[in-house]
Amino acid sequence: MSCPFNHSAELNPAVLPLDWLLGTWQSDEPGEGSFPSITPFRYTETLHFSHVGQPVINFMFNAFHAESKKPLHRECGFIRLQPGTNRVAFIIAQNSGLVEIEEGELTGQQLTLHSTSLARTSFAKQPYVQQISRHIQLKPGGRLEQTISMALEGQPLTQHLHITYRRTD
């Protein structure tokens, strides 16, 4: 499912500082995934950032195994900015049954976020995620870079994913 940029609605001024995210981004080479409790893996990912004129950015992230092309992780949600500040929040639902709120700061074309709230389905797979941090940055040359770290029960906050994207639209 595609989430195209909405050309018919004007971008709400509340999210104008995030306009650099809008559009579709595709990993230009496979990203790296690792964690002490799993076998390292490579993945590709497509990001869609769109809007419908509301004071939020909509997003959908779809990851696939680099070799088998099987679907892996999916996230969708909304990005909000606290009016008059650089405070930003991601509201995220994941296909694993995890729902999270990440909050942090927007500095230029860089987002630094940390989970403030995590909830999961009653039958979610253990070990449970305890904390997530996310860093998204538009690099010189127009590439978007994302690094995600997570902590599980008994595992401290550790880098889990790193990937770079190019804009495709």
When pLDDT is averaged across residues 27-43 and rounded to a whole number, the result is 94
Using alpha carbons, select from 83, 87, 79, 139 the residue that is nearest to residue 109: 139
When pLDDT is averaged across residues 39-59 and rounded to a whole number, the result is 97
CB-CB neighbours of 120 under 10 Å: 16
When pLDDT is averaged across residues 51-74 and rounded to a whole number, the result is 97
When pLDDT is averaged across residues 70-97 and rounded to a whole number, the result is 96
- What amino acid is encoded at 45 in this protein? E
Give the model's pLDDT for residue 126: 86
What pLDDT, in 10s, does the model give residues 119-133?
A: 999 998 888 999 999
* CA 27 to centroid of chain Cα atoms: 13
Query: In sequence order, what DSSP letters do the residues of the chain get, joined into one string?
Result: ------SSSPPPGGGGGGGGG-EEEEESS-EEEEETTEEEEEEEEEEEEE--SSSSEEEEEEEEETTT--EEEEEEEEEEE-TTSSEEEEEEEETTSEEEEEEEEE-SSEEEEEEEEEEE-TTPPSSPEEEEEEEEEEPTTS-EEEEEEEEETTEEEEEEEEEEEEE--
Give the model's pLDDT for residue 7: 55
Provide the pairing of β-strand 144-152 with 23-27: unpaired
Give the model's pLDDT for residue 127: 86
